[in-house]
Chains A and B, each alone.
Chain A
Amino acid sequence: MCIRKQTGVLALLVLVAFLPRSSLAGPEEDRLAFVAHYQARFPEVPLAEYANGIYALDADARAQWHSIEEFPPYEFSIERGGEFWSAPLPDGTHLADCLGTEVGAIRARHPRYAPELGVVTLELAINTCRSAAGAAPLDYSDGAMIDLTAYLAFESRGRVLDTRIPPDEPGALAAYEAGKQFYYSKRGQLNFACADCHITSVGQYVRADRIGPSLGHPTHFPVYRSKLGGMISLHQRLYGCVRDVRAKPFELQSEAYRNLEYFLSYMSNGLEINGPGARK
């Protein structure tokens, strides 16, 4: 490099070194690198399409999905969820009294961080509200919980994920980092990290399924699975993945999965919420 260019580069480096750094530099850098990686890997896929998961990459699956979406199998779930949402709690209050009356804004606000609870997912928020009103918490694999989240997801369609890591809450960044570490750590007898499939092997086949990218994963849950003839939540899918690499799975809504959801959600910031989804 000629001397003038070298000096210029040096000056730029010095300048950058002294620029004010927000405490979110880490996660935001992570996210930009994450997105850039997938975009370099699949240059023809527009960023917004990642909200559709594997359908962004697989034309045949996408065609099948479009015909399912003509009459979505999750419509009954949304309806039941709406009824559940309007039903009064034992003390006469409603879920809207805790979570807000603007239904479309609720899903978009989660996951978020609260110092007393750690990462608060939508499911945890629902059960926290129910407990405060004297109702028994819903089972996280129960139809009622999934129907509720299906309804709230549907109402939030069109809004984008905007996961926040408040700079004045050191616990929030720690939770994000814990989720990130989980994502990249190999585990189980099969010694796989989430990244091994969902970054390294995206688009490749595992048995009869093509592996989808992590970018956009949280946007479309809960999901109707044709295989089950029913709906599953994101944590049920995380549970299944951990079991499938032959590690002992963690409990639904455990700290491990909530931190992981926090990380995954942050990575997908800016993508449109399009739940509930329909998958194999």
Chain B
Amino acid sequence: MDRALASRYLAAVLMVCAGGCATDFDQRLEETERLRLDAAARGYEWIGTEGLLEQARERAAGGDTRAALALVEQARFQAEAALQQAERESEAWKRRVVK
């Protein structure tokens, strides 16, 4: 995902959260990590998610909070999509069985 798209995600997050949910990096990171672990528990974790969160931590440690938050949002997209996939596939797989 390119930076332009990630920035749009960030903007969307900020808009949606205008009502008062956390844009604090650490909280966002923690929430996303939990989603990633949920996906992993269901056996549906995507390959890139953990790496994105690692990169986010590194960027934050280096002081680039904007880039760090963008990376967290990419990871969150992956984790949420993986969970939706797990939910969908829990029934959808039956339709593919060769009869």
Residues of A in contact with B (beta carbons under 8 Å apart): 30, 33-34, 37, 180-181, 184-189, 191, 193, 195-196, 199, 243, 246-250, 256
Contacts and interface: CB of A to CB of B under 8 A. Distances in A.
A248 B85 CA distance: 14
A186 B50 CA distance: 20
B85 A191 contact: yes
Contacts of B50: 248
A30 B97 CA distance: 8
A85 to B, nearest CB: 35
Contacts of B43: 187, 250, 256
A180 B46 contact: no
B48 A189 contact: yes
Interface size class of B (residues with CB under 8 A): 20 to 34
B61 interface: no
Interface stretch (B7-15, B19-27, B63-71, B86-94): B86-94
B97 A180 contact: yes
Contact of B93 (A181, A191, A199, A249): A181
Interface of B: 40, 43-50, 78, 81, 85, 89, 92-94, 96-99
A184 B47 contact: no
6 tightest CB-CB pairs across the interface, nearest first?
A: A184-B93, A248-B45, A185-B93, A185-B89, A184-B96, A37-B98
A47 B89 CA distance: 31
A248 B96 CA distance: 22
A160 B89 CA distance: 33
Nearest to B46: A189
Contacts of A185: 89, 92-93
A247 B39 CA distance: 11
Given A187-B85, A250-B43, A195 B48 contact: no
A247 B46 contact: yes
Given A184-B93, A185-B93, A189-B78, A248 B99 contact: no
